[in-house]
Amino acid sequence: MQRTYIFTAFERFWHWTQALLIIGMLVTGFEIHGTYKLLGFHDAHVVHTTAVWALVGLWGLAIFWHLTTGEWRQYIPTMKNMDKVVRFYAIGIFRGEAHPFHPTRARKHNPMQAQAYLAMTVLVSPLLWISGMVYLFHPQLAAAGIGPALATVATVHTLGAFLMLAFLIGHIYLATTGHSPLAHIKSMVTGWDEEPAHAAPPTTGQA
């Protein structure tokens, strides 16, 4: 196997902590919405709100880290080799073909990943954050005579939650599409990407 160190300790901490907080917010958020009863409304609300502020703090650290290390460049979208990646997920993956993209320290995300993460960052996340904060502080906004109706805010926030859930499901599925079902998950635990030596790209190869 060819091993390449891809994900730093902070990236792995940030990834798994964020995943835990997002899953916790989805579970408690849908309970607050009335989808099912698990913790009870009050406890679900407390856990949900606590997770929100924890994620705000985590994102603050992550933004600072990305800006100071230059890792924000990983999320710059590109169309280079996009056709090959799309073909792989549409056809090649079902034929046992090798993935056309090989992550490196300089480029960790394939073109589809970069596009998806950018969409999450600039569309879905702001939708959730803005509607969530308006929801949280709606009594104060209403007292000041500003802000939309609570039902509208709840609908927008729920839409954002479903989009996040769809992304999470897709993310988990695609994480199992490496040379083995746990290969990508293992790399996010250890930091090391492992691929069969014959599939390794040239040392200067980029996607």
Residue 207 domain-assigned (yes or no):
no
Query: What pLDDT score was predicted for residue 70?
Result: 87
Which tens digits make up the pLDDT trace of 67-126?
Answer: 999 888 888 877 888 889 889 888 888 887 888 888 888 888 888 888 888 888 888 989
Which pTM value belongs to this model? 0.83
Q: Which residues constitute the domain of residue 72? A: 2-199
**63/61 Cα distance (integer angstroms):** 6
Residue 144 domain-assigned (yes or no):
yes
Residue 206 domain-assigned (yes or no):
no
Q: What is the CATH number of the domain that holds 47?
A: 1.20.950.20
Residue 71 domain-assigned (yes or no):
yes
Residue 143 domain-assigned (yes or no):
yes
Residue 191 domain-assigned (yes or no):
yes
Each residue's pLDDT tens digit in the chain (207 positions)?
688 888 999 999 999 999 999 999 999 999 988 888 999 999 999 999 999 999 999 999 999 999 999 888 888 877 888 889 889 888 888 887 888 888 888 888 888 888 888 888 888 989 999 999 998 888 888 888 887 888 888 899 999 999 999 999 989 988 888 777 888 889 899 988 887 765 544 433 333
Rg (C-alpha) for the chain, rounded Å, is 20
Residue 68 domain-assigned (yes or no):
yes
Q: For the chain, what is the domain count?
A: 1
Class of residue 104 by CB neighbours under 10 A (exposed 0-12, middle 13-18, buried 19+): middle
CB of 11 closer than 8 Å to CB of 187: no
Question: Which residues are within 8 A (CB) of 163 and not within 5 positions of it... i.e. 6 or more apart?
Answer: 124, 127
